[in-house]
Amino acid sequence: MNQSITLRKPDDWHVHLRDDAMLEMSLPWTAEAFGRAIVMPNLSPAVITATQAMAYKERIVRLLPASSNFEPLMTCFLTDATDPLDVAKGFIDGILTAAKLYPANSTTNSATGVTEVHKIYPVLERMQQIGMPLLIHGEVTNREVDIFDREKIFIDTILTKLRHDLPELRIVLEHITTEEATQYISEAGDLTAATITPHHLMINRNAMFNGGVRPHMYCLPVAKREHHRLALRKAAVSGDTHFFLGTDSAPHLHQEKESACGCAGIFSAPIALELYAQVFDEEQALNKLEGFASINGANFYNKPVNEKTITLVKSSWEPPEEIPVSHNDYVCVFHPGLPLKWKYLRKGFNEANSNI
């Protein structure tokens, strides 16, 4: 009998589902494994207003089978010109769950992001008043700053000031990658939390240069040195409720990754849950997985925890390397080293890959 673990259904507190054919490809992976997901708004053009978020939500929900209980939680993309009233009304009306701060040009589709945080203080003040979470891509964008230092410097210069100026604002520092970020979050109090991706728990920066350039290991913020990866693992399994699951699964077509200027983003949705289980198992902390995956995030967002459960089985298996997008294109799945050690029994997916 294989070892198994049953958890309350997890939520993904940071995912890129995209739109159109890419959405059709990505949505089932997330919707089968997670009860809810915070859907990133960095489409092209970005989802800026509550009305646009509502329309995007409708495009997602239309693709879900009638039997699905998956709930997409929508966000808006903050710009220098964001209207505080629109954001606040979107939150109060239940259309928006959070607003996302991308420093301009920090990552994929962020050119119209925020150029200076003080320019959006009226929005942030309103969000603070109504308890609306601010989700932050925490990297400075000055190209003279070493790419491996951009998260730390963001924390030191921008986040610290922001929390000083708006001490009651609820903040999630997304996809943290450094030891300094784990330290900062663990000391920052109950209104500040962080998500951690499966890839940052599994790879360090060497993975991007293993025998040649490995574009499928490239995302932003980039993976850092090994001691940072170890610190992230320690934080994830620590039981500290300020850390929770956010895959940052971010699919790009393979030729947009395998190019002279490849896009940032790692597509992990088909195996993300399995990777987290593997990490927690390796850290001998499977008893902490449910808190990280299914409880801490819900509590931070003031949402009820999911009542349904999912079961993962300890079993060696090889996931697909490529997943088709429409008829003539595909995305590559994140592969941190095979075989994987845990398996979540998905419908559809399992029929083609039933080797346990």
Q: Check: CB of residue 199 under 8 Å from CB of residue 277.
A: no
Contact string (CB under 6 A) for ligand NCD, positions 266-305, x = contact: ----------------------------------------
- Choose the contact partner of 97 out of ligand NCD, Zn ion, none; CB within 5 to 8 A by kind: none
Number of residues that bind ligand NCD (CB under 6 A): 11
Residue 219 Cβ vs ligand NCD, minimum distance, rounded to whole Å = 3
Q: Give residue 307's region: left, alpha or beta (phi > 0; psi -120 to 50).
A: alpha
Calpha distance 156→152 (Å, rounded): 6
Give yes or no: 248 in active site. yes
**Per CB under 6 A, does 5 bind ligand NCD?**
no
- Choose the contact partner of 100 out of Zn ion, ligand NCD, none; CB within 5 to 8 A by kind: none
Residue 276, classified by CB atoms within 10 Å of its CB into exposed (0-12), middle (13-18) or buried (19+), is buried
Tokens 């995209």, residue located: 18
Q: Closest-CB residue for ligand NCD?
A: 265
**Per CB under 6 A, does 228 bind ligand NCD?**
no
Cβ nearer to ligand NCD, comparing 100 with 126:
100
Residue 168 Cβ vs Zn ion, minimum distance, rounded to whole Å = 25
**Per CB under 6 A, does 264 bind ligand NCD?**
yes
Cβ nearer to ligand NCD, comparing 128 with 197:
197
Contact string (CB under 5 A) for Zn ion, positions 192-231, x = contact: ----------------------------------------
Which CA distances in Å does 348 have to 28, 72, 298, 354? 9, 21, 28, 10
Contact string (CB under 6 A) for ligand NCD, positions 312-341, x = contact: ------------------------------
- The residue among 305, 180, 172 whose CA lies nearest residue 246 is 172
Near ligand NCD in 234-253, by CB under 6 A:
248, 250
**Per CB under 5 A, does 11 bind Zn ion?**
no
Which residues have C-beta within 8 Å of that of residue 66, sequence separation ≥ 6? none
**Per CB under 6 A, does 138 bind ligand NCD?**
no
**Per CB under 6 A, does 12 bind ligand NCD?**
no
- Choose the contact partner of 223 out of Zn ion, ligand NCD, none; CB within 5 to 8 A by kind: none
Q: Which of 8, 9, 137, 170 is in the footprint of ligand NCD by CB under 6 A? A: 137
156, 248, 281, 329: the catalytic one is: 248
Residue 1 Cβ vs ligand NCD, minimum distance, rounded to whole Å = 38
Cβ nearer to ligand NCD, comparing 172 with 219:
219
Q: Check: CB of residue 303 under 8 Å from CB of residue 356.
A: no
**Per CB under 5 A, does 151 bind Zn ion?**
no
Residue 250 Cβ vs ligand NCD, minimum distance, rounded to whole Å = 3
**Per CB under 5 A, does 248 bind Zn ion?**
yes
Residues noted as catalytic: 248
Q: Give the footprint of ligand NCD on this chain (CB under 6 A).
A: 16, 42, 107-108, 137, 219-220, 248, 250, 264-265
